[in-house]
Amino acid sequence: MEQNDVETTRIANLAAKLFLKIEVTAYILLGCLLGGTVFLGVVNAGISMVHTLLAQAEANAIVETVDRLLFVLMVVEILHTVRVSFREGTLVCEPFLIVGLIASVRRMLAITLESSQVNSPSKWGPDSVDIFHATMIELGVLGGLILVMVLAIFVLRQSQRTPNRVVK
């Protein structure tokens, strides 16, 4: 081997070690920040739950509490994704699909709960029909998105269970 090849290999190894340390540090910092976010989210959801109870389970307060709890669930799932990526050293698709699924269900629940508040005839107005149509379109898109993500998770899990077959 030539001197340049040895030197290049040594520099490449040093660079790889440096980048690995940077990556590990980033994962640790990101994990700590996400953990703090989870803690604050749980505290905030708990406070929201107390306010909901004091408001005698008013519908808007329930919507807000459910929304905050689902947000915490999303952050926990993102934290899980970071942990899995850190442990395996690769990016895993399924946790991201689960986060997207939770986010879509969260939005769908929020829309449904919010729209239940405007069902009384006293709240109908000229813009109500346009808002209703936009809401129905969004719910339809979210429903389709949820179906696609569930199918993607199913296909991923099935592909992990079946061994690779060699075709002759």
In the chain, where the domains are located: 3-161
pLDDT at 23: 83
pLDDT at 48: 82
Question: Span 2-18, mean pLDDT?
Answer: 84
pLDDT at 163: 67
Q: What whole-number distance in Å separates Cα of residue 28 and Cα of residue 37?
A: 14
pLDDT one-digit tens code per residue, 61-110: 777 788 888 888 888 888 887 787 777 777 778 888 888 898 898 888 88
pLDDT at 51 over 70: yes
Q: Which two tokens stand for residue 127?
A: 């813009």
pLDDT one-digit tens code per residue, 127-151: 777 777 888 899 999 999 999 999 9
Q: In sequence order, which residues have a C-beta less than 8 Å from that of residue 24 and are 6 or more positions away?
A: 86
**For 14, what's the count of Cα atoms within 13 Å in the CB-facing half-sphere?**
6
Question: Span 3-28, mean pLDDT?
Answer: 85
* 101, 144 Cβ separation under 8 angstroms: no
* 112, 132 Cβ separation under 8 angstroms: no
